[in-house]
Structure 1
Amino acid sequence: MELRDFCGNGRTVAALGELFRQGRLPHALCLEGEDGTGKKTLARLCAGAALCTAPQGERPCGRCLACDKVERGIHPDVLVLTGGKGSRSFHVDSIRRLRQEAYLAPNEGRMKVFLLLDAHTMTVQAQNALLKVIEDPPQASLFVLTVRSRRQLLPTILSRVVTFSLEAPSPEDCARRLEQLCPGKDPAACRAAAQEAWGNVGEALLLLEGGEKRSPNQEARRLLEKLARGDEYGALAMLVPYEKDRPGLDRLLERLVTVAQQSAIVQDPARRVVTPAQAVVLEELCTQAARMNGQNVSVPLLAAVFCGQAVVRL
C-alpha cells in the first residue's frame, strides 16, 4: 500500500508525503482521530516510509522487500506496542521493553520504528517513562503514537511530538474505499454502510460484514446529535440502558468527548455537529458526569443533570 492509497485526509497525507520526500521525518509523530479513521494503517505507512529501500520516488513504494515486510507485520525493525481495552491498560512494563530495544542497532533497516497504538490508554507512569526516551531520542529511531485525542496525553509528551489529526472521509470516498476492500459487495450496500457510519471506514466495514449493529462511536455520535439539537428526552432515553452498567456509561462519556472534539474540527461544515467552544463545554459536563458516576450517584439523576445542562449550554 502506498500513501496515496490512504482514504481521505488529503491535507495530512500531503504533509506527511512532503516530509517523506524531503527525508525530514521528525523523531516522534502522533496520529489522533476516532476509532476507524485509519490511524493504525497510517502508522504502518509511516513505518514503511521510514524503512523503504526504493532508490527514488514516493515512499513507501509498496513494492520493495522492506515495504512488504512492514505491511505483513514481520519487519524486525518495527516494534508494535499496545494496551488492552481498558482506559489505563498500557503499562510501564511495555515502555521499559521499548527503552531496551530503542538503544540497540537496527537489524536490517536504517532505523528502528516503534508503533505505540492506542497510546491514550497509557498510564501516567508509562507516559513519563516514554518521555525519557523521546526527549533525548536514540539516533536512527522513529516513534509513532496513535490516540483518540491528543488531550489524553500529558502536555510534556505533546510538546515533543508532531501531531496530525485524522477525520472520517466523506461518505462518498468511504463508499469507494469499501468497494475496493470488498469487491464482491453490492455498491448500493457500500453506499448505505458509508452513510450509516458517517464515512468512518472501520465502522462501515463492520456494518457491511454484518458485525456490530451499532458501534460505540455511533452511539456517541447519536447522543451528540440529540444533545446538539436540544432533544433532551431522546438523550435521556439513550442513557436508560446504562442504569445497570456504570463502566459502560464511563466509556460512552469518554467516546462522547472524543467524537465532539473530532466533529468540531472537521473540515466539511456540513458534517460539523458542534463548535470547538461547545466541544469544550461538553468535555466539562462529561468530566462532571463521570465524577458523579464514580461517586455512585444514581444513574437516572446523573443522566437528568447531564442532559439538562447539556441542552441548556450547547
Structure 2
Amino acid sequence: SHAYGFFGPKGIGKNRLVDFFVQALLCEKKDGIACGQCRNCVLFANDNHTDVYKVVKDPEEKNIGIEKMREMRERIYLAPSISDRNIAVICDAHSLSADAQNSILKVLEEPPKSAIIILIADFTDSLLPTLRSRLLNIRLAHISIGEMIACLEREYPGVSANSVKNAAHLASGKIDLARSLIADKTLLESAEKDYSKALLFLKSPKNERLKMLYDIFSKSMSFIEQQNSGIKFANSILAAAQWSVYEKLGINESPPAFKSDIKSTPNLAKMSKGLFELIQMMKRNIAPRLAFEQFIWNLN
C-alpha cells in the first residue's frame, strides 16, 4: 500500500508505532523489523533522515492548510536520496482542511512508486470518506490497566508502585500518556490535580459547575488555548466518570487517592455520552466555553 492511516485517541501510542513502522520500512535488512544499526535506522533514530518528511500542525493554527500539503507534494515526488522510499508522515491529520485532504487525494490517484504517505489522527470524523477509503486503516485500542502497569514497571523499574498505578489510572488505557506522566513528576502532579477537580465537578450542583468554567476559560486565553483547556478538562471528567462507573460495577478498582463516593451510576453513564459529544464539538472548533455551558445546562 502507498497510504496508511493510524487512528486512535491522543496518547494511545500512535506516534511511537508509526516511528517503529517507518524505521522498519527504511531498514536496509528488509526483514520487516528495524535492525537499529544500519545507516537508515541510525539517521531516522536521530531525526535526520532526508527521505522522511513530517507535517505537523502549527500550535496557533486551527487546521493544517493546503500550503503544507503543497510542500509535502513537492517532497514526495522527488527521488529518494538515501533509501529506496520517500515517506511523508502527516501528524494531527484530523486537523487537515478539506482542501488539504483533496490535495492528498490527488497524490494518491497517481503516487510515485517510491512514495508512502502516513496519516496519524486522533479521530476520523473530520476526514473525507474518499480519503479514508484510500488508506490501509490501523486502529489502536485502549489497553487494560493491568497490562499498562506491567509495561510501566518493566520500563521504569525505579519508579514507586504508587506512581505507576496512579499514572496507569489517569491515562485510562493510553500507554504513551502514562509514559509521559511517569517521566515527568510535575506533569503527573498536574494530572492528579485535574482528576481531583474533575471528581469535584461530578459531585457539584449545576451552579457550582458553571462557576468552575471561570477557572477553565480565562478571558486572556486565545481560542486555541480555550480549545485545548476545554478538551483537557472534558477528558478528565470523562475519565473520572468512567472510573466511578467501573467502581460501582466492580469492574476495576481505583487507587486510594482517586476513590469516589458517587452513587448515581445511570447519570454518570449518561454524562459520559454527553462528554464524548462535547469533546467532538470542541474539536470541530465550536466555541469551547459555549459548548461546555450547553453541556452543563443539559445535565439533570
Q: Does 1:282 align with 2:257?
A: no
Classify 1:92/1:61 alpha carbon distance in 2 versus 1 (closer, same or farther; 3 Å).
same
Q: TM-score, normalised by structure 1?
A: 0.68
Counterpart CA distance in 2 for 1:111 and 1:31 is 19
How big is the shift at 1:82? 0.9
CA contact 1:135–1:160 (8 Å) conserved in 2: no
Counterpart for residue 170 of structure 1: 144
- Equivalents in 2 of 1:46, 1:176: separation in Å? 24
Percent of residue pairs identical:
23
Q: Distance in 2 between matches of 1:159 and 1:220?
A: 38
Q: Return the letter of the residue paired with 2:99.
A: Q
* Equivalent residue letter for 1:242: I
Cα distance in 2 for residues equivalent to 1:182 and 1:237 = 39
Deviation digits for residues 167-191 of structure 1 (CA, Å, limit 9, x no counterpart): 3422232233333443432344222
Q: How far is the alpha carbon of 1:149 from its aligned partner? A: 0.6
Q: Once the 2 structures are TM-superposed, how far is the Cα of residue 142 of structure 1 from its aligned partner?
A: 1.0
Rounded to whole Å, the distance in 2 between the matches of 1:64 and 1:74 is 14
Match in the other structure for 1:121: 95
What is aligned with 1:104?
78
Structure 1 residues 219-298: aligned runs within 5 Å: 236=210, 238-245=212-219, 247=223, 248-252=225-229, 256=234, 278=273, 282=277, 286=281, 291=286, 293=287
Decide whether the 8 Å contact of 2:278 with 2:292 is kept in 1.
no
Q: What does residue 35 of structure 1 align with?
A: 10
Give 1:158 deviation, angstroms.
Answer: 1.6
**Shift in Å at residue 150 of structure 1?**
1.0
Distance 1:224 1:69 in 2: 46
The equivalent residue for 2:116 is: 142
Whether the 8 Å contact between 2:274 and 2:295 is mirrored in structure 1 is no
C-alpha displacement of 1:144: 0.9
What stretches of structure 2 of length at least 5 have no aligned partner? Answer: 253-267
The change in CA–CA distance for 1:302 and 1:98 in structure 2 (over 3 A counts) is closer
What is the match of residue 307 of structure 1?
A: 296
The 1:140–1:146 alpha-carbon spacing in structure 2 relative to 1, beyond 3 Å, is same
Moved more, 118-127 or 174-183: 174-183
Once the two structures are superposed, residues 91-150 of structure 1 have per-residue CA deviations (whole angstroms, 9 ceiling, x without a partner) of 322221211111122122221111111122333332222222123211121111111111
3-state SS, counterpart of residue 164 of structure 2: helix
Q: Measured at CA, do residues 188 and 285 of structure 1 come closer, stay the same or move farther in structure 2, by a change above 3 Å?
A: closer
Task: Report the Cα distance in structure 2 between the residues aligned to 1:288 and 1:113, rounded to whole angstroms.
Answer: 28
Compared CA separation, residues 214 and 170, structure 1 to 2 (3 A): farther
Quote the residue 2:65 is aligned against. Answer: 91
Ranges in structure 1 where 5+ consecutive residues have no aligned partner: 1-25
Aligned to 1:50: 25
- For residue 167 of structure 2, give the secondary structure of its aligned residue in structure 1: helix
Aligned residues of 1:103 and 1:138 also touching (Cα < 8 A): yes
Alpha-carbon distance between aligned partners in 2 of 1:220 and 1:249, rounded to the nearest angstrom: 18
Give the distance between the partners of 2:15 and 2:180, measured in 1 at CA.
Answer: 17
Q: Is 2:105 aligned against 1:131?
A: yes
Aligned residue pairs total 270
Q: Does the 8 Å contact 2:3/2:116 carry over to 1?
A: yes
Pair 1:187–1:116, CA change in 2 (3 A): same
TM-score (norm 2): 0.70
Q: Is 1:60 equivalent to 2:34 in the alignment?
A: yes
Summarize the alignment of residues 207-218 of structure 1 with structure 2, pairs less than 5 Å apart.
207-208=181-182, 209-212=184-187, 213-214=189-190
